[in-house]
Chain A
């Protein structure tokens, strides 16, 4: 009896060991590529580490955090990122959802495929080309948008036309428009996948029962797209709050520019100013990351699928 128990335990252990053996590569990657850098940055944020200095870093506890919390630029730059996210996020949900519903109703298979391909074109263009294209579109003097507003519509003159990029109040909305356009097809495909998973009988039954199109959408379609919506909102919230490339390209390092968000503040401190105060920059990054995580938890709670 005792021997049987030992044998059983051995087999259970062997099964467990097998599982862990297969998990090792992923675990090693996860620890080395994800966990270690996070804890390394966390450690740096408690030191006075300056990259260009050859002096050893000192442990300074929460001094960097206190300094960041007391710096108005920290709060201003966090608010700027939030402001951009508030403009960007609805555009990544509402427009793609509407488009997906329209495309989903196209019954001709060839036409439906063509729409999907057209929608995906911006998503496959490299970021560099996207930025070059939109920089030209928004250019104050030679861009087609201002040309249209000044020369074609006559709404403005060369002296008062809108200044889209370069650190003006219009820069964040302009970047948000570009980002929404860029991700439109990609986000639409998410919703199309969700729509394809809804049995056709459900909306048909609702219509037979006398539901209007709006009621069909609100009570049948929307709840079934909720998991996709939640994923998109959480993922895109994270990317929107942490945008950096676009701000560097469209706004530079001018601290008065709306594009000088916490990510640029962090980059500026880490790679531009003085001896590159990476301890302080790490603290800025950790504050930004924690703020984002708190909001993400709230978003998950709000948009979690119910019922």
Chain B
């Protein structure tokens, strides 16, 4: 009898949340309440038949699916899984952010999995919503977890007021340097605060012969022009959510890229060697080969590359420099979890993702590194940082506090169907300026905006 009442209470709460959230209307709410009133036998029958939604149609164990690299870089995940008896943990059939399988299943009104850990909002969240693959977490995520999210991260995962991504692994674009090289160039072992300092230091490295190249960056737009623009001004998105390439801040960023290129390795603009050119980029090779002093990218990159150095302890990490009059923002993104609309075990999925994203061992491993990798990805919750502030762990490196500070200003790339692709389409056009084929950065960036618009106009 107690179990029955608990089940009815859960159903009522679920219904109320869905009504408040707009997932169901009043008629549906009343129908469900009536069905719930029929008792467990009726509820079970209706739920199994799909009439009451799939939240309680648990005819299989909780089935999460993870992007392979998440498992590779975070060895503590199996320990979390161990607390969820019968969990059917799987690796996702995705490569290079491909979501074809998820979409194909959704078209048939089904999903092999309940939750996908591997969604990057600006990359594929809009597409997953458009294709009716995922649904909002709002009816299932506890309010205290929502309130605990760093506001910018919650914004990143929200579209039209609904939380479509439960943030997990936070990547922030920041700066890094090889202290062995900077010391050999006679530079202080402190982070350059402005781009002017950054450039001056990079030139000093080359002039002193401490390394062949002064500085580098990843030339893909979301890792270069976007964060550099944000460091001056992050209010650079059009009303429809596209990056405003014609904004003055973007022009300044492009000019800065060209200045850095002058002290960088000649292959800096080349495509990478994996994931359709997106990863295995030349900047990583240069930094791993200890041929360059400064490097700005998401922290995972310098941390991984420094493992190839003679002395990995010479790596220094810090926040992204800013323009002298700049806002001091950067770009971040989270790799989070999406809830499949046609999946099952939705309450259980929320319980699982909560346990996963608050797991202290995962965060320690990510920040300190393990034998399997050193991702340097950070948690999305205020309370985790507050706990670390109150009781600083002896393993905590300095950069975490710096990045947390910058997160108050940092901004994610706005979600849009072309959120990532606008940078892919635009790259050849702004590179015309970087290569000297176009002398005016404004013209180059106007060409970018035109090219993106032309592609969107295709339909």
Interface positions of A (Cβ within 8 A of B): 48, 50-54, 67, 135, 139-142, 158-161, 163, 165-168, 248-257, 271-275, 277, 280
- Contact between chains at A254 and B427 (CB < 8 Å): yes
Can you give 26 A-B contacts (C-beta < 8 A)?
A54-B131, A54-B132, A135-B273, A135-B280, A140-B266, A140-B285, A141-B265, A141-B267, A141-B286, A142-B289, A158-B212, A158-B291, A163-B267, A163-B270, A248-B276, A249-B276, A251-B271, A252-B272, A254-B424, A254-B428, A255-B425, A255-B428, A256-B428, A274-B455, A274-B458, A280-B458
Residue of A nearest to B96 (CB): A248
B100 interface residue, CB < 8 Å from A?
A: yes
Interface set, chain B 249-308, CB cutoff 8 A to A: 265-267, 269-274, 276-278, 280, 282, 285-286, 289, 291
Alpha-carbon distance between A234 and B224 when the two chains are bound, in angstroms:
44
Interface pair B285/A166, CB less than 8 Å apart:
no
Assembly CA distance A161 to B98 (angstroms): 35
Residues of B within 8 A of A52 (CB): 103, 127, 130-131
Contact status B271-A53, CB under 8 Å: no
With A163-B266, A252-B278 already in contact, the answer to whether A274 and B271 are too (CB < 8 A) is no
Contact call B277/A253, Cβ cutoff below 8 A: yes
B431 at the interface (CB under 8 A from A): yes
Q: Known contacts A252-B277, A256-B428; is A165 also within 8 Å of B417 by CB? A: no
B113 within 8 A of A: no
B285 adjacent to A142 (CB under 8 Å): yes
B421 at the interface (CB under 8 A from A): yes
Interface string of B398-442 (1 = CB under 8 A from A): 000000000000000000011001001101100100000000000
Chain B residue numbers with a CB within 8 Å of A251 are 271, 277
B277 interface neighbour in A54, A158, A254, Cβ under 8 Å: A254
Chain A residue at minimal CB-CB distance from B424:
A253
Query: Given that A54-B131, A141-B286, A274-B418 are known contacts, is A256 also in contact with B431, CB under 8 Å in the complex?
Result: yes
The answer to whether B270 touches A167, judged by C-beta atoms less than 8 angstroms apart, is yes
List of 4 A-B pairs having minimum Cβ-Cβ separation, nearest first? A252-B277, A166-B270, A256-B428, A252-B271
Not counting A163-B267, A254-B428, a sample of 20 additional A-B residue pairs whose C-beta atoms are within 8 angstroms of each other reads: A51-B131, A53-B130, A135-B273, A135-B280, A139-B273, A141-B285, A141-B289, A160-B266, A165-B271, A166-B267, A166-B271, A167-B277, A252-B276, A252-B278, A255-B425, A257-B428, A272-B424, A273-B455, A273-B458, A275-B459
- Write the chain A residue with the least CB distance to B286: A141
How many residues of B are counted as interface, with CB atoms below 8 angstroms from the partner's CB atoms? 38
**Which of B130, B132, B270, B421 has the most C-beta atoms of chain A within 10 angstroms of its own C-beta?**
B270
Bound Cα distance from A275 to B285, whole angstroms: 35
A275–B431 Cα distance when bound, in Å, is: 26
Q: For residue B368, which residues in chain A have a CB less than 8 angstroms away from its CB? A: none
B456 on the interface (CB 8 Å rule)? Answer: yes
Distance in angstroms from B122 CB to nearest chain A CB is 14
Known: A54-B131, A160-B266, A274-B456. A167 touches B282 (CB 8 A): no
Do B458 and A277 have beta carbons less than 8 Å apart? yes
Bound complex: CA of A142 vs CA of B278, how far in Å? 19
- Shortest A145–chain B CB gap in Å is 13
Chain A residues with CB under 8 Å of B127's CB are 52, 275
Q: How far is the CA of A255 from the CA of B425 in the complex (A)?
A: 7
Closest to A280 in B: B458
Complex Cα distance, B132 from A168, in Å, reads 39
Choose among A48, A167, A275, A280 the residue that contacts B271 (Cβ–Cβ < 8 A).
Answer: A167
- CB proximity of B281 to chain A, nearest CB, Å: 9
The smallest beta-carbon distance between B158 and chain A, in angstroms, is 20
Distance in angstroms between the alpha carbons of A252 and B383 in the assembled complex: 40
Complex interface: chain B residues within 8 A of A252 (CB): 271-272, 276-278
Residues in A with CB closer than 8 Å to B425 are 255, 273
CB distance from B206 to the nearest CB of A (A): 11
Closest Cβ neighbor of B288 among chain A residues: A142
Bound Cα distance A254, B278 (Å): 10
B270 x A165 contact (CB < 8 A): yes
Cβ-defined partner of B459 (8 Å) among A51, A254, A274: A274
Which B residues are CB-close (under 8 A) to A67? 458
For the complex, what is the distance from the CA of A275 to the CA of B126, rounded to whole Å? Answer: 10
| A146, closest chain B residue (CB) | B267
Q: Quick one: closest B residue to A158, CB to CB?
A: B212
A138 nearest CB neighbor, chain B only: B273
A275 CA / B421 CA spacing, docked (Å)? 12
Q: Are B270 and A168 in contact (CB under 8 A)?
A: yes
B residues near A50, Cβ cutoff 8 Å: 459
A274 to B459 CA separation, bound complex (whole angstroms): 8
Contact partners of A135 in chain B: CB under 8 A: 273, 280
Complex-state Cα separation, A54 to B341, whole angstroms: 15
A293 to B334, CA, bound (A): 47
- Report the nearest A residue to B106, measured CB to CB: A54
Measured CA separation A139–B286 after assembly (Å)? 11
Within the complex, the shortest CB–CB distance from B93 to chain A, in Å, comes to 14
Say yes or no: A273 contacts B130, CB within 8 Å. no
**A274-B417 contact, Cβ under 8 Å, with A252-B277, A254-B427:** yes
With a cutoff of 8 Å between Cβ atoms, the chain A residues found around residue B286 in the complex are 141
